[in-house]
Amino acid sequence: MKPTRSGRTVKGTFNAPGGTPGTARAAAPKRGGLTLTRLLAFTPIALEIASYLRGQQKARRGKYYKASTKGKALDFVLEQAQKRLGKAPKKKGWF
């Protein structure tokens, strides 16, 4: 509460000049870890969906379709993410 000239008190802001410290309630602690937990929980699901959709798109286009630069970049990012999460794609070829 902030005193006025008339002697009665009115509500004021805590950080305002002349404000009385100690009258504002302490803020509840933020739960920043919950966002990270959700991100880590939904990342593998999003990766599975993205790789599934990309596979469907590649299957529609055919075997001899030349991929664009964006497509190659997306394939590389998806492949690396799958490797990091332990789901390595099946190798096609001799080696």
Instruction: Give the start-to-end residue ranges of the domains of the chain.
Output: 31-88
Report d(CA 21, CA 3) in Å as an integer.
12
Cβ–Cβ < 8 Å for 64, 72: no
Say whether pTM exceeds 0.85. Answer: no
The pLDDT averaged over each successive group of 10 residues in the chain (95 residues) is: 61 57 62 78 89 91 89 91 78 72
Q: What is the CA radius of gyration of the chain?
A: 28
The confidence score (pLDDT) of residue 62 equals 86
